[in-house]
Each structure stands twice: as structure tokens, then as C-alpha cells.
Structure 1
């Protein structure tokens, strides 16, 4: 009896790898009978599917698969030597029955999969006449193993396609992505089929060797090209979706970066939140704790905690999307913008979802209304799971909900309740929400199935975190403290006094440390006494700071401070330092001004206003803005008054631009003005001047060109100047893609 030929280790390893990958992909329930499934079972199952009453009208001619079954039969006899003593062989045909049974529910998908399997048959025909003489050749065995791997790869992709959630919904838009993978597999089969033909001919041994090397190069190149093409297409589709949504991610990136920068220098101050029992439960991949409310008063560090949770979850490879609401970016508090922000992050996660949204929404030119966005949000969450019959988990963090208008808060909570009320099923996505907001909140009281983490109840953890922060800030003052003869025990005593005074409020501790850093002391007792004498309430602290700022200023200077604070509070977007100084320069309404406001004016408000890492200016906390609008403020700012002043600045800036750049102004002076930053405000002015004018018209119930208001006088001058200047033709606006602003009716 002849000995069985030796089995190539490389070929066996190729088969084992392909088997293991498919075994990991298919769920235990779906693969339960694979080991005892014969090719005859698969043949009969195909005929049974054809004979199903529901399928008779559309799923005819299953005999198209008979050449495939015949080819698999001949191939199995040849490859059996490589599968001997293993469970590998039935997996060549067993998945076909499962895939066809699932796909027959959707005729279009069924036909495409049948077409793919039929194409495999073409590559298997040669095994019918192949001589056993070549089985012992190890290079030939490797080619057989590649056939096995390609067939199982085809099964794997077909199975993942029909088993992912929402595959019927996304079939039309996603099939193209899978078809490219299928075609690549079929091409690999064809090339290796040709290689077998060469290897079967003794006189073509040298040519077969050359062909084998070429195929190896082609496989690597084709895989790289396929990945590159898919990535490039997804990128283009994603950019088109962002354009359709009219959303600029840079705002959220800037917000996130500015918050994380506050804690980056003080590591370890947020670690306690991960040990909180309710937060820990929310982080687990369990349907428990679907909603968490992180509540706390102003300055307790809610936003910082949210950013650190996001960073931790991303490092742990958890899928988290987030949105931060802040007064600094007006758009961030709009309900539609919150939805757009979350949707864009969901779409980025999955190429199939990207293709679906692109074709079903962008190409169909659907309008991104709030209702359409809500529906899309539900659709994306329902179809995120791309692992067969497995639950996916997604976490959503929304910070600063209290900065949104009440009706928007209510609508968002209603949407969250709809998502979290859906039952957890295999193949579905479990979405868990964390909302950070101040209390009390009428909207959040209606959040169902929620757990509440109140920072008021976490004083011990907050005291420890604030203690770390204060210790680091005091370390930066070490030189001063040593000059006062203050040793470590007294430094610890000062630290404890500050921590106790802060009472769980990071913002208060920061204000105290800023106060200590900017004042002159002669002893440790003076420091402790000064800290003890500071007001306990934030509002009183702000009042004290403003008093120190204003006490030596004349009325004109006070008005200029009010102007600075008004710009920080109510600008349409954060202004960078040069933009800010240019805005201040044009705020009085003089288009002929030729000197930029000096930088030192910003230092006067330095305790309450800070420069962020992106060089934009902002209040140290939103509570500063709230205090300035309150009756207890010693320099009240009024929104409408500030907006009128901002409108004046935008129109004045444009008038100045027409005067300088639209005339025979000396070139050198133009360059000097631009170089000094005098016109740095021009981009903002161009973007928002119509918004200020329309808002003014809406408040005044129409534009009165005879109005004595400075804004109207300047607007009239701008219209006259623009009419008299030579301008390029304006491109026609596509009226079908946007709606007219209702406030335009106030213009006539």
C-alpha cells in the first residue's frame, strides 16, 4: 500500500488560518451542524429553498449552483489530504446553506450571492481531470490551500454581509463595497486556477514558478489597492456628508482641546471618577445603567471629567461619541447641531454606514431638518452592529446641556428616552448616555432609567483631587514661599485652608491660587488670613475681582472694559487675540481709525478672561458671564446692547476695508495695516455682518434707513460705498439647497 504524500506545513497553516478566521466569524448557533454537513445536504437544501412557496415566484433555477457543487466535490477529493484528521473539509460547503437561507429573504441580495458562488464554479472545473500525481508536490499543495482560503474568505464576507444588522436596508448602498471584495477573491481563484494548469504540465515547471511569484506580488498589490480605493471612496463620501450637514468639526475639536488643556498639567485629579460605582456600571458592556446624569454646580469640574472619560474610553477601544455645549460657540448649543455632531461621529465609524448616508441622503438631496436628523440618528444606531448576531455597545457623552434652551433640552431628552427604551437584542446596538449638567433641571428629571452622580455627594473625592491641584499650584510658587521662610508643614496648612475653603469647587480653588499668585504677602499668616477673608460665594468673589479692576478707572476706561467683556460674552464665535483687538478698534464706529487697540487692555481683565491654547479669548468659566448679566454685577453687560455694538464693529470694519482696499490707497500703507492686524476682524465681519443687521431689523420690526441708530447710519454708508465701487459678479445661489431667512421679510 503506497504511503500518503507528506503534507506541506505552509499549506496546512494556510488552511488552518482560513478556518480559524471563519470559525471566529460565524456564531456558535449558526455553525452548530457544520461538522456533519455533507455536500449532498447542501445540494438538497438549495433545492428546498427553491421549492419554498414564498420563493417560487422569484427564486427559480437554483440549479445554477449545481456546477459549483460538482466543482466542490472534485476539489474536496484533491484537498482531502490537507484536511485529513481535521474538521476543515466540511467548511468548504457547509456555510452555503446558511447564507442562502438568510439571503433568500431579499431577492436582490440573493441573486448577487448566487452570481458570486456560480463564478467560483468556473475555477473548480479543472479538478475533475487533475491527476493524483501532483498531490505530493508541496508547492502544488500550497496552491490548493490558497483555493481553500479564498473559498472560506468568500463565505466569511457573504456571511458578515447578510448577518450584520440592517443589511437589507443597506444592501443597495453597501453591496458595491462587498462586490469589490468578492471580485478580488474570484480573480485570485482564477489566477491560482491558471497556476494549477501550469503546474499540471511538466514542461511548464519553470513558467509555473514564475507565475507563482507573479501571483504573490499581485495578491499583495491588489489587497493594498482594494484597501486604498475603499478608504479613498469613504473619505470622499464622508466629506460630502459633512458638507451636506453643514457642520464644522473644528469647533468641537477646539472646545475639547481647551478643556483638556486645563487638566493636562495636573494629572491624577480626575482618576477618582472611574472608581465611582455608578460610573463603573455605566462603562461596562451590560445593558444596565443606560443613562447617567452627572450633576454639579458651576465650577465643580463636570466638563473636565467628561473629557477625561472620553480619553479613557478611547484608550480602552470603546466606541464613544461626544458633544460639548458652550456659550463660546453659539452653534454648539443648537439642537440640530448636537444631532449633526453625533451623526458625523457615528458615520465615521463604519464605511457601510458612510455609503448608506451618502447615497440615501446626500445624493437624494434630502434636507437635514431636525426630524430627518432624528430619524437618521435612530437608523445609524440600529444598524451599527457589524458583528454577526452580536450586541454592539456605543456610549454618548453630552456635556453642558444646561447651556441649551429649555425646549431643546426637552427635545433631546425625549430622543434619548426613545433610544434607551428599545430592548436589547442579539445583533442590535445598546446605546448608553451620560449627560453632564447643573441641577436642578426640569428636562433631566424626565430622563428615564437614569442613575445620578451628584458631585455634591462626592466631596471626599473632590477634596482629594483639589488637594492635588493646589499642591501643584503651590509648588510653582515655591521660590516665593521659601523667600518668606515658609516650610513644608506650613505649606500643607495653607493647602488645607484652600481645599476647605473651595468646598469641592475646582473653579474657586483656581481663583484663590490666581489671587495668591498676583498679590504681595510678607508671611504665611498673611496668606492664610487673606484666604480666610475671601468671599465664600463665586458671585462675591467675582464682585471683589471686578472692584479691584474698576476702582482706579475713569468712566471711559470702564466703558472700554465693558466692551471687552461684551465681546467675550456674545461674539458669534471665539475671537483670536488679533481679531479681538481689531474688533475693539472698530467698535466705536470709526472706519477711518488707523491705530490698533493695544494688547495691554486685555491684561486689565486677565483675572476673568484667559487666552486659550488656540489664542482665542474666553472667560475662565461660564459663571463669569452669568455674573456679569446678573443684578449683583458692578459692571453689567446687556446682550442686546453688546450685539448692537458688535454689528457696528462689523459694518465699520467693512467700510474701512472698502476705503483702504477699494481705492488708490498707498500700497505700503495697505501692507502696514494688514501686518499690524488692524484688519484681522475682516473675516468675522464678512461672515456675520448680515446676521447682526437682520437681527437688528427683527428686533426693530423692520429696517428704518432714517433711523438715528449708529448701526443703520453705517449700514447706509456701506450700501452707498458698495454701490459706487466696482465689484465682481456674484455667482447664482442654488435656491433648492437652502431656505430663505424668515427675517428677510423685515426688509420690506
Structure 2
């Protein structure tokens, strides 16, 4: 058995070799401890040679089944190691008590010794089942003893019972072999029998309680996987898809062959068969931008039959499972995709016994990490794909920032299971060389063409435009013969057809203009032409609407972190340099965004996003640089966003402490200065900040507020973003300026100057910003902004208004940067615990030059610092 284990260890991949050797050592320990068991049995019972062969073969079969899933095999090896330490030292007793064995009662010893054999064989069978595909609906056969239960238990619970039985077995065995009082030996014998019988009785727990514990285990694993939101995109597709628009794809022969090939249990457990058919189970679907690939993916997922399973442990699971993921602007990380797939698999099979056994291993012993590593996630996916026939649909792989890294593990997953991948992308996706080396026809790629989707575009436009004509959008005397030829202008892009109908429904167009658009549709062929027409129409609007539309495009394109709907609503109302009035906020925000942008931006389920990624691509392209809404000059966009954030801090944030002041209570940790602390605020190229924190507002805080008190920023949804991100925007605006831009008047990259001057001259507003930064657990650091502003100052003529203002801003910013450094050095620990100290005399007393104002809690006003 050990030689067989050594063989597949030596043939393993080099990266897994050391881990497998560690497993081998633990299994060898068990083998050495248990091998003398059969020598003891042979003393008083004539056994068949096959007895030990069956036993070691069962163990080898279980280990071999898990050899390709090292993450789980390590946990099984830990179990064998634990068993080895729980067993009696059979070799010692065989050498020293052989005579006593021969004199002992044969029947009694045979009965008690056989329990251990049966327990371990059953344990190995359960492990083997967990690592392989079993017939659907066939439950494990339980015997009386270790796995005997009216109600099934997961593997960790069964293993715990096994350990308890081995402890009792060891006590009985050592008492039996020792020179003991016969009554004492009989007592141990009775205790062992009582324990074996008692396990059956303790299994009578209430089923609801059992199920509750199982669901907690599932929740624990899902939390460990740290999955992001992935379901929303699919639900949106189901709601938005035009009826029958994608059904044609389901009739394609290549898709049907991929889908309808049967999942065969024998092949699923045959490594050679899996390797030989690997390339046949990976299908690429490619089409140009705007084709409607994402809607097709939604139709595919629906066709493959995603169904929620009932969490009843005894019901037969569904035959196949479909899991999916959509890459997009806010979901571009390959790790997030695999975490989402693992989460779906865990949830879909939460009622399956083999899956529950796998989850039991995960919860029994992990690496100690709060979050699963990428390798851990792949291991979970690999095991669950081994257990269950699964379809996997991935859309938008070309939007993944590390597509090659995402594609790399897929062939290995297909070599160890019979899963099937359908991967949807644009034609320019770089498919790794490994996929192309399988055989001449591999990889299997479906190239979708204009002819494939033209009938659907024609049907959609005929139905939609005729309905609009009935509703009077084109006036009374509309020539409906204009409608049929429009589909030919789409060039196979469903996106173009959909966007055209949205444009024609815009309230900014008159009926005559809509008819003229249909008559001259040839000028709108292609997405770029249609986008340009829409943006030209938006540019004819009045000032406030145009300003808000521009800001919407800016925030969606270049925000440091996506703004939630409440923060964006606040940001769009801000006019830099002035306090924001209530009337400046958009009414009916969700509807207004679509109206102001002519549906180029949409709000769905509280998320604001571009209608399609090509909108952002066009706005940032050179073709759009002469339009008012252009985002081609990113430094100018960052300058505008910085000015909005700074203006909010100077004019709209509270000019007072953000929470009630708390008195200074020195602790052991705050006696020392923070010079030894590491906030790591200078490790980024953006203004000295570490990064934009992705955690909640209070994560990592030492002091915990009253859980019943509302967050301090509950009525200031934009405060977090403005406080933490204005230095980042300003740094990017100054770092990426086009050459020679400073000579242009008016200078668009200086939009932030007046707002920053206003903030720096208002010490109370500045102090409020500093307090907010500490409350968000990201202490402010402006050390990298000072040299950038110095460079700008050197390039602006000093006699100009901008030159004079930039000089005063640089001096004030340098003074503020020094004061912030002093805070970190002298009060880093205490400010982290109590940010309100920034307003109190404790800070004031040690601040050189009395930089920070103090707050009089009783009078509700500021004491001006003494000069």
C-alpha cells in the first residue's frame, strides 16, 4: 500500500510533491501502528490472507481517489495520523503478551477486535465516496456501529465518534492485556459495549437541530470563501431580455452536442477517460462587441436548468447543476470568479451527503486564514465537480483583468472531473497555447456572425418601432416603410438596435427629428456614429442638465471606488465653490439619470452603470476628444472630481466634531509614541495613502461605539469618499498632465485650485476632514502632494491670479502636511482610539504653533487658536 502511495507521490507535479510527501509520512505512521493488528488476530483466529489485503487496498483506494486534490488529501492524512495516535501499540503487546493472547477467550477477542477493523474500513469507504462520483440518489449503506444512525451525520461528526470508540477500544485492549483484576477487565468490557450501544441512542437528536447545524456549517464555508455579489447580473438579464431573442442559439448543433453528451458515472471515475475527453468539454463562444453575448449567456443558463434545491438531506439531488459568473467593469478579478463558482456549488449541494463530508473537512481544520486562498478555492471547486455533474457558464472573459490566470486552471479541472465549461468573449481574447495544442480542432470555438442574429434584430426593431409609431412618437403621418430596412444598418449588433430605440424615445427629440433619424439611418451605422449623435443631442441641452450629465459620465468612469446611489446623488448636486442647496438634488433620481444621459447610463437595483462597456470606451477614445462630454483627458477629469470632493469638505461637511467629544483616557498602549507603528500610508503612488479601503467604515477600529447609536455619517453618504479620495484624484490629475497644458487659458486642470484654497484657509473644515479620515481608519498623509504642487507652481507665471493663489496653497498645504506628521508621531495610537481628540486641549497643548482649533462642547463653538 505504501509503495503505491510513494509511486503516485513521485509522479506528482513538482509543486505538489512536497505536500504529498508530508501526507505519505502521516499515512505511513498509521500503517506502522496498525500493521501488527493482523499479527495479533492470527494468534487466535485463522484468517484468510485476503483480510489484510482488502483492508490495505481499501485505504489505498481512498487515498488514490484524493491524490489529485491535495488540499483535501492533507486533511484526510491528518485524520489517519489522529487515528494512529488513538490506537493501542499493537506491536508492543504482540511481543510481550503473546502467551496471554493464546490463553484469552477467542470469541470475546474476535468480537471486540473486529469492531476496529469494521470501523476503519467503513471510514475509508466513506472517504472514497467523497472523492468520486456516485450514482444519484444512492445513499451510503450504514451498519450498526460507527456510522449507524437513524439520522445521518457529516464526516467530522462521524470521525469524532470513531475517535471516541478507539479511545474506549484502547482502554479495553490495554486492560485485557495487562495483569489486571478480572473484575476490572470486565468493567472495561462493559463500558465499551455500553458506549457502542449508546451511540445509537445519542443519534436520536431532533432533525431540525441537525439541519440547523448543517446550514451553519454551509454558512461558515461560504463566509470563508469570501464571495462577491454575482447573482444580480443574471436576474437583470432575465428581466431585460427581449422574449425569444436568444432562443436561436439553443438550436445550434455544436451547442447541442456539447450540452447533450451524457454524464456517465464510469467515465467520471476514469482518469484516463477524463483526460482524453478534456478538450471536448470546453466550448468557446465568441462574437463582436454589441452582439448581445451577455443576453445569450442568460438564455444558456436558463436552458441548462439552474434550479434551487430543497435543503432536505434525504431527497434525491437534481441530475446536473449549472453555475455561472459574469465579468464586468466592477467584477474583473479572476479570484472573485472562482470564489463565486465555489459558493454556488456549495449552496447547490448543501443537502448532499458527500458534499457535507467535504464541508466537514473544511470546517474541521483550515489553514487559520479568515479568507480562503486562491488554491483553497480551486481545491473546493475541484472536489465538488468530482462529486457532481456540472455545467459552468462564464461571460465576458475579455473583461477579466487577468484572463490568462483565469483560464489556466480550467484544463486541470476538466482532467479531474467531467465538468463542462462554456466561455463567452469577444474574438480578440488571447486563448492560452495549452488549449490550442490538444488536437487540430481544439479549442472548440463557436464564431457568431451577423447572419446568426439578423432575424432577431429585425423582429425586435419591427415590433418596437411599430409600437412607438402606434404611440405617436413619429407623429401622425409616419411612413412605416422606413422601419424594415433599419435592421440592415445594425451590422449584427443587437446593442445598436436597442440603443437606437432608446435614442428615438428620448424626450429631447421631436416627432419630425425621429422620422428624419429613420430616413438618414445610414449615417448612424456603427456604435461610434450612434454614440456621437446621442452626445451631440445631449450637448444641445441647458447648462444644469449638461453639467450633471458630464459629472455622471466622470464618476462612472474614473471614480476611485464605485459610488453607491446615495453618494452619487449627493455628488451630482455639488457645484464646486458653493454650499449645496437642497433644490440642487435631482428629483426622482433613478428616472432622471436615464433621461439626462439618453439611456447611456442606467440605474438597476440601486446600481448606477453604463448601458454597455462600449459607452465608456467611446467617451475615453480619441474619436470623442472634441465633444463636450469627452473623457479622453483623464487628468482633467480627475481634477474636476477632486474639486467636487474638496468643495464638499469645505462647504457641506459639518464644521464641528463629527461625534460627541470623548475625554482623553491614556492607556498602556498610548503612552508610547506611534513611531513604531506602521499605518503604511506612504506605500502608494497616490498622495501617500495606502489604498482606498474596501472595508466598512468602522473596520479595524480599536474603540467600539454603542451598537445602538447610528453611524456618524448616516446623513452624509458622500463624506467617506470625499475625505479619503480627494488626495488620490488630485495626485492623478497632477501626475498625468498632458505636456504643455499649463500654457492653455483657461487652464482646465486647475479646477481644484479655488476649492483647495477655500478648504485650507478654513481650519475648522480642515479639522473636520482630518477627524473623518481617522474615523475611517485611514490617517491622512499629504506628503506626496506637496512636491507635485511645487512643480505646478514653478510652471505658472507668478504674476497671474493662478500663480499667486497656487503659492499660498502650497505654503498652506506644506504647513498642514507637517501638522499631520506631528499628529501621527505624537498621537497616532490615541487618535486611532479616539479621533475626537483632534478638537481637544490635549492635542492643542503639544501642537507647535497651535495649529488645530479646540471645540467648546458647552457653548457649541470653536475657540480660535492663539497666534
Same fold? TM cut 0.5 = yes
Could you tell me the TM-score, scaled by structure 1's length?
Answer: 0.60
User: Given the alignment, which residue of 535, 538, 557 partners 2:527?
Assistant: 538
Displacement, 1:451? 1.8
The 1:61–1:647 alpha-carbon spacing in structure 2 relative to 1, beyond 3 Å, is farther
Distance 2:498 2:203 in 1: 60
* Alignment check: 8 A CA contact 1:306 1:399 kept: yes
Q: CA deviation at 1:363?
A: 0.9
Q: Deviations over 1:657-688 (max 9, x none)?
A: 542664899xxxxxxxx9xx984433544564
Query: Where do 1:56-67 residues align within 5 Å?
Result: 57-62=32-37
Distance 1:508 1:707 in 2: 36
User: Any conservation in 2 of the 1:323–1:338 contact (CA below 8 Å)?
Assistant: yes
- Deviations 1:259-306 (CA, angstroms, capped at 9, x unpaired): 44321xx23222222222333344344634343332222211111222
Q: Does 1:621 find its partner at 2:612?
A: yes
Question: Which residue does 1:598 correspond to in 2?
Answer: 586
The residue number in structure 2 matching 1:274 is 250
Judge conservation of contact 2:723–2:772 (CA < 8 Å) in 1.
no
C-alpha contact 1:323 1:341 (8 A) present in aligned 2: yes
Residue equivalent to 2:130? 164
- Structure 1 residues 695 and 587, CA gap change in structure 2 (3 angstroms): farther
Which of residues 145, 153, 157 in structure 2 aligns to 1:180? 157
Give the secondary structure class of the aligned counterpart of 1:363.
coil
1:723 aligns with 2:701: no
Q: Are 1:507 and 2:502 an aligned pair?
A: no
Q: Which residue of 1 aligns with 2:568?
A: 580
- Distance of aligned partners of 1:692 and 1:57 in 2 relative to their CA distance in 1, 3 Å threshold: same
CA distance in 1, matches of 2:493, 2:638: 32
Paired residue for 1:637? Answer: 631
CA gap 1:654/1:157 in 2 versus in 1, 3 angstroms: farther
RMSD (CA atoms): 6.0
SS of match in other structure, 2:446: strand
Cα distance in 2 between the residues matched to 1:539 and 1:729: 42
Q: Give the whole-Å Cα distance in 1 for the aligned partners of 2:571 and 2:120.
A: 62
The separation in 1 between residues aligned to 2:40 and 2:477, in whole angstroms, is 89
1:295 to 266, 270, 286: 286
The Cα of 1:381 is off from its aligned counterpart by 4.2
Once residues 152 and 478 of structure 1 are traced to their aligned partners in structure 2, the CA distance between those partners, rounded to angstroms, is 79
Structure 2 CA distance for aligned equivalents of residues 559 and 503 of structure 1? 33
Task: Give SS of 1:453's match.
Answer: strand
CA distance in 2, matches of 1:220, 1:295: 55
Gapped runs of 5+ residues in structure 1?
Answer: 1-51, 71-92, 119-127, 130-150, 168-175, 189-213, 243-247, 666-673, 701-705
The superposition leaves residues 409-446 of structure 1 with CA deviations (integer Å, 9 ceiling, x where unpaired) of: 34434x24xx416773xxx3245443322233445687
2:574 and 2:580 in contact (8 A); partners too: no
1:97, 1:599 → 2: CA distance?
74
> TM-score, structure 2 length as denominator?
0.53
Residues 595, 678 of structure 1: 8 Å contact kept: no
Higher relative contact order (CA 8 A, sep 6+): 1
> In structure 1, what is the Cα distance between the partners aligned to 2:28 and 2:366?
36
| Structure 1 residues 64 and 478: CA distance shift in structure 2, 3 A | farther
The CA deviation at 1:547 is: 1.9
- Report how far residue 624 of structure 1 moved: 1.7
Counterpart in the other structure of 1:682: 719
Report what 2:228 is aligned to: 249
Per-residue Cα deviation, 1:573-597 (whole angstroms, up to 9, x for no partner) = 5545543331122252535655433
- Higher fraction of helix: 1
Report SS of the residue matched to 1:58: helix
Distance 1:221 1:60 in 2: 37
Contact 2:502 2:599 in 1 (8 A): no
Q: Contact 1:395–1:431 at 8 Å: present in 2 too?
A: yes
**3-state secondary structure, aligned to 2:471:** helix
The count of corresponding residues between Structure 1 and Structure 2 is 580
Q: Which runs of 5+ in 2 are unaligned?
A: 1-26, 46-51, 65-75, 89-106, 109-116, 134-152, 166-197, 264-276, 308-317, 350-354, 437-441, 661-710, 738-749, 789-816, 818-867
Write the mapping of 1:220-369 to structure 2, written as runs, cut at 5 A: 221-242=205-226, 249-250=228-229, 252-263=230-241, 266-283=242-259, 284=261, 285=263, 287-313=278-304, 314-315=306-307, 318-327=320-329, 329=330, 332-342=331-341, 344-345=343-344, 350-351=355-356, 354=359, 363-364=368-369
Looking at structure 1, the residues matched to 759 and 473 of structure 2 have their Cα atoms a distance apart, in angstroms, of 60
